[in-house]
Amino acid sequence: MWNILIYIKKNLVNTIPIAMALGIIFGYFYNPSFLKILILPLTIMMIYPMMVTLNIKTLFSYCRPKTQVIIQLVNFIIIPLVGFGLGLLFFKNSPYLAYGLLLIALLPTSGMTISWTGFAKGNVNIAIKTTIIGLILGSLLMPFYTKFFMGQVISLPLIKTFTQLGKVIFLPLFLGFITQIILKKIYGEAHFNKDIKKKFPLLSTLAVLGIIFVAMALKAKSIIANPLSIIYLLVPLSIFYIFNYALSSIIGKLFLSRAESIALVYGSVMRNLSIALAIALTVFGDDGVEIALIVAVAYIIQVQSAAWYIKFSEKIFGTAPEDTAKDIMKKGVFSLHYGQTVNDAIRLIDEEHIHSIAVLDNKENPVGLITAEMLINLLAEGKKQDSKLKSINLLPVIQFKETTPIKKVIETMKRKHEYKVLITDEKGNLEGVLTKSNILDKYANGGKNE
């Protein structure tokens, strides 16, 4: 099943139109009204998996204030004005389509922001921070922006809106955070990050296709009656995305570094279409189906344009720097002090589902590694579990600074036949670990960081 979901996620440019077409066909031949009961559960299923994978701690990591100020000004001042203006120009007589475009403009970032920033070798930490800020600010400000821009033509009950936002955004955000804590407790952080975390976005993708199917089924009769309506939606949406790519690229080129610029582009052009769909169908009832139509079409443009932009990013911002250890390493190191015992090492490896542990001296410097295989051998030899780790013949430690080119790391691994290295920051503090599996995973994905 997971392989099927992976295929679907990698081919959204094709699977979204298929879901739209199937929804239209179903809605034309059958009464789709019963599908409305699926809207809320599909919406929660669409949002909740995204929340499980969010690293909330990144919100408190440092980045230049200038970068976030620029990104948020673009997201909450310029882009909403562009969306509102295009809605007035193209949808004078269709207020809900106009609002659909405004809604897209009011909800910045998505999971794609982080993925595509990584693919283009931008600053992923800024992308994560931007995603979290955009999610929270966009959800809180959306009702007030709606009242300001379209309060005369769109009836938006604030209490109902905030209630629905609580159900489809903040409740899943809370539950996702709790789920993340529980799963890390049960399976260990390493196993969660390596094997479990990546499955949740696949469930979200399935829910997106489900909600698009429902929206198209509910709108099927009017779409069949006027099939050119979908084609017409492509015009303002294309202008919207092209303008946003151009604007963010120019601002990034003028004011930010290459890595920051790419985070700006994908942090402003990518919109949270999943939440836009959720709001459209849970807050606006039957009228929300028309809003959902333009959001569904936006998915096609957003997914394809994100892939296209990578091809132009090097021409705009220059060649990407050589991959470094920091680009591939797994952040965080499981460690014990050499005054601790073999039993402590056994328990940590068992609880966290990891294969090895760094052993530190009293000054927090790594003095060696102990692996699960070594512990098995020690037990087989009758070594007492209360033996201190300082008494064990540990594996040698290889360390690199996070700025070390990955090519140099690979050459050292080959020469020394050691395939796990520790990564430090410029001050020598442990930052993460880099293994042969991390390197192979990267190149198995065509050189892209997942």
Q: How confident is the model at residue 377 (pLDDT cuts 50, 70, 90)?
A: very high
Q: Write the pLDDT tens digit of every residue in 76-94.
A: 999 999 999 999 999 999 9
User: Residue 114's pLDDT is what?
Assistant: 83
Q: How confident is the model at residue 229 (pLDDT cuts 50, 70, 90)?
A: confident
Shared fold status for 2-320 and 326-444: no
Long-range pairs of 390-396 with CB within 8 A, sequence gap ≥ 24: 390/338, 390/339, 392/342, 392/368, 394/359, 394/367, 394/368, 394/369, 394/370, 395/356, 395/368, 395/369, 395/370, 395/371, 396/368, 396/369
Q: Within 284-371, where are the H helices?
A: 288-317, 325-328, 342-352
CA distance 416 to 434: 15
Query: Cα 187 vs. chain centroid, distance in angstroms?
Result: 22
CB atoms within 10 A of CB 4: 10
Q: How confident is the model at residue 444 (pLDDT cuts 50, 70, 90)?
A: low
Instruction: Output the average pLDDT for the chain.
Output: 87
Q: Write the pLDDT tens digit of every residue in 158-201.
A: 888 888 888 888 888 889 889 998 998 888 777 787 778 888 88
Question: Which residue bears the tokens 């739209």?
Answer: 20
> Would you say domain 326-444 falls under CATH 3.30.420.40?
no
Q: 384 or 274: which carries more pLDDT confidence?
A: 384
User: Is 70 exceeded by the pLDDT of residue 371?
Assistant: yes
User: Residue 62's pLDDT is what?
Assistant: 62
The most confident of the ranges 31-40, 246-255, 437-446 is 246-255
Instruction: Name the nearest CA neighbour of 144 among 240, 199, 80.
Output: 80
User: Residue 447's pLDDT is what?
Assistant: 52
User: Residue 59's pLDDT is what?
Assistant: 61
- Phi/psi zone of residue 332: left (φ > 0), alpha (ψ -120 to 50 degrees), beta? left
Are the C-beta atoms of residues 284 and 96 closer than 8 Å to each other? yes
The most confident of the ranges 44-53, 134-143, 313-322, 422-431 is 134-143
Q: Which of 49-53, 124-128, 347-351, 407-411 has the lowest mean pLDDT?
A: 49-53
Q: Which of 100-114, 282-296, 383-397 has the lowest mean pLDDT?
A: 282-296
- pTM for this prediction: 0.78
pLDDT above 90 covers what percent of the chain? 37
Provide the CATH topology of domain 2-320: Na+/H+ antiporter like fold (1.20.1530)
Q: 32 or 50: which carries more pLDDT confidence?
A: 32
What would the two tokens of residue 94 be?
Answer: 């269709």
Question: Which residue bears the tokens 């994560």?
Answer: 128
User: Residue 75's pLDDT is what?
Assistant: 96
Instruction: Name the nearest CA neighbour of 24 among 175, 187, 219, 174.
Output: 219
Q: Write the pLDDT tens digit of every residue in 312-354.
A: 888 899 887 788 888 888 877 889 998 999 999 999 988 887 8
CA geometry: angle 271, 289, 107, nearest 5 deg: 20
Cβ within 8 Å of residue 145, ≥6 positions away: 80, 102, 106
User: Residue 236's pLDDT is what?
Assistant: 97
- Domains of the chain, by residue range, sit at 2-320, 326-444
- Could you give the C-alpha distances from 298 to 11, 217, 230, in angstroms and in order? 15, 17, 11
Q: Write the pLDDT tens digit of every residue in 51-79.
A: 788 776 666 666 678 999 999 999 999 99
